[in-house]
């Protein structure tokens, strides 16, 4: 399988649950990202990993916990979320952050999260 794959595509959880979103890329990319997409708001960068090291953490609440065990996999662990965390969570990858050319992102289809 090629491209960026996200699972699950849809997730409904209560505020006390613990769940995880998974992202996998088979493109040989070295950088991976989590973005949050909410209606009528700019796409919000949450975390960036480069060669499995976190290089960006955009003031994201600690109830979101990323994990990057290797350059092909990225997780977003969720616990004690709030209803306002309901959104589409998009994973993306790129060849690398340190290239001199355009940094083109390849996105997954997203995980639609609903927090009750």
Partner 1 sequence: GEDVEQSLFLSVREGDSSVINCTYTDSSSTYLYWYKQEPGAGLQLLTYIFSNMDMKQDQRLTVLLNKKDKHLSLRIADTQTGDSAIYFCAESIRRRYSSASKIIFGSGTRLSIRP
Question: What's the min distance (Å) between Cβ of 34 and partner 1?
Answer: 12
Beta strands (DSSP E) in the chain are 4-7, 10-13, 18-25, 31-37, 44-50, 53-57, 64-70, 73-79, 87-94, 106-107, 111-115
Question: What's the min distance (Å) between Cβ of 107 and partner 1?
Answer: 3
Stretch in the footprint of partner 1 (CB under 8 A) among 11-19, 60-68, 71-79, 106-114? 106-114
Please give the distance of CA 39 from its chain centroid, rounded to a whole number. Answer: 17
Token representation of residue 34: 């989590």
* 35 binds partner 1 per the rule CB under 8 A: yes
Residues that bind partner 1 (CB under 8 A): 4, 6, 33, 35, 40-43, 45, 48, 50, 55-56, 90, 92, 97-110
């Amino acid at each position: 399988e090629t491209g960026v794959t996200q699972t699950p595509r849809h997730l409904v959880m209560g505020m006390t649950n613990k769940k995880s979103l998974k992202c996998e890329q088979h493109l040989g990319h070295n950088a991976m990202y989590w973005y949050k997409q909410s209606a009528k708001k700019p796409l919000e960068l949450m975390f960036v990993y480069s060669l499995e090291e976190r290089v960006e953490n955009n003031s994201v609440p600690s109830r979101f916990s990323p994990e990057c065990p290797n350059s092909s996999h990225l997780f977003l662990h969720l616990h004690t979320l709030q209803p306002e965390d309901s959104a589409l969570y998009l994973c993306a990858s790129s060849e690398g952050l340190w290239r001199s050319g355009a940094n083109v992102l390849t996105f997954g289809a997203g995980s639609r999260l609903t927090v009750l």
